[in-house]
């Protein structure tokens, strides 16, 4: 097989993997939602169809650079991904996972914050915020322009920072699970975790819910570090179904109108 065909095959395979991973994770958590909060997604069928459409397009945008890099790793010795667990000290395994998550989070915080500038918001990021309220299917519901900014981070990091292939798998799993659960409309994690000291630094659904309520705050992905440092952290949001929750989609629509005025905040 010539090189171009091999690269194309790798890109297609990776697109299929990302797409199937998205469908499986979102379907699993949508089923959990149906069991735990029946009717939470009632009346959202059209929105969910759009979330799936944008997410599958994002799967290709994520899959192509990942497929090219995977081909280079396997056949050309590109990247610093290693598969002998003793190639680096064992203590480096958890450190590499945290380092990747922190760097991914940092990239996401600043690009996401930029996406809230009115011109970029209108052109790209409005697609993601069209989910009101978001569902488990909204994890990769991004305009292609925004998906591109997210798709290059890990394929670039693997050229710079060594990581064991299983640790990389763990990073990608955390990315997938948090992407889905943060948009699910309820907390899957125990309250002691997200309300307690750990939740002061880790992002779960309640934190990202506030971003979807108010727009100009809570830009982070995994950690509250940058939001807290930069004064953009506005605490935890509430869910429509929760006692004292925000109640209606009308309230969300009012937030949307308000945000249209201060999307750059
Ligand atoms: Zn979101
Ligand atoms: Zn946003």
Domain that includes residue 101, residue range: 3-261
The total number of structural domains that make up the chain: 1
Omega into 221 within 30° of 0, i.e. cis? no
- pLDDT tens digits along 7-49: 999 999 999 999 999 999 999 999 999 999 999 999 999 999 9
Q: Which tokens in the block code for residue 259?
A: 């945000």
Ligand 2 centroid, distance to 165 Cα (angstroms): 31
- pLDDT tens digits along 58-77: 999 999 999 999 999 999 99
Cα distance between residue 91 and residue 212, in whole Å: 37
Q: Which ligand is nearest to the CA of 112?
A: 2
Whether residue 106 has pLDDT greater than 90: yes
Q: Which residues contact 36 (CB under 8 A, 6 or more apart)?
A: 186
Ligand 2 centroid, distance to 207 Cα (angstroms): 12
Is residue 128 within 8 Å of residue 245, measured between CB atoms? no
Give the orientation angle of helix 3-36 with respect to helix 165-181, to 10 degrees: 40
Q: Which tokens in the block code for residue 35?
A: 């069991």
Q: Which ligand is nearest to the CA of 114?
A: 2
Ligand 2 centroid, distance to 214 Cα (angstroms): 9
If we measure between CA atoms, which residue out of 25, 34, 56 comes closest to residue 147? 56
Is 61 exposed, middle or buried (CB count within 10 Å of its CB: 0-12, 13-18, 19+)?
A: buried
Ligand 2 centroid, distance to 129 Cα (angstroms): 6
Ligand 2 centroid, distance to 128 Cα (angstroms): 7
């Amino acid at each position: 097989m010539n090189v171009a065909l091999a690269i194309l095959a790798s890109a297609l395979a990776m697109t299929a993997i990302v797409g199937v991973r998205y469908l499986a994770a979102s379907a699993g958590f949508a089923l959990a939602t149906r069991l735990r909060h029946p009717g939470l997604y009632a009346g959202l069928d059209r929105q969910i169809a759009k979330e799936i459409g944008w997410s599958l397009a994002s799967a290709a945008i994520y899959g192509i650079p990942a497929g090219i890099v995977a081909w280079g790793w396997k056949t050309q010795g590109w990247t610093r991904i290693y598969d002998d667990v003793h190639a680096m000290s064992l203590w480096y395994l958890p450190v590499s996972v945290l380092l990747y998550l922190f760097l991914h989070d940092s990239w996401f915080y600043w690009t996401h914050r930029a996406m809230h500038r009115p011109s970029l918001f209108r052109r790209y990021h409005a697609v993601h915020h069209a989910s009101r309220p978001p569902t488990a299917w909204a994890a990769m519901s991004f305009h292609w322009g925004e998906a591109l900014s997210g798709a290059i981070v890990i394929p670039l990091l693997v050229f710079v920072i060594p990581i064991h292939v299983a640790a990389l798998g763990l990073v990608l799993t955390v990315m997938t699970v948090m992407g889905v659960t943060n948009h699910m409309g309820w907390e899957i994690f125990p309250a002691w975790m997200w309300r307690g000291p750990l939740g002061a630094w880790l992002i779960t659904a309640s934190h990202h819910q506030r971003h979807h309520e108010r727009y100009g705050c809570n830009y982070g992905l995994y950690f509250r570090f940058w939001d807290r440092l930069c004064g953009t952290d506005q605490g935890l949001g509430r869910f429509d179904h929760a006692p004292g929750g925000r109640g209606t989609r009308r309230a969300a629509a009012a937030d949307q109108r308000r945000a249209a005025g201060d999307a750059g905040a």
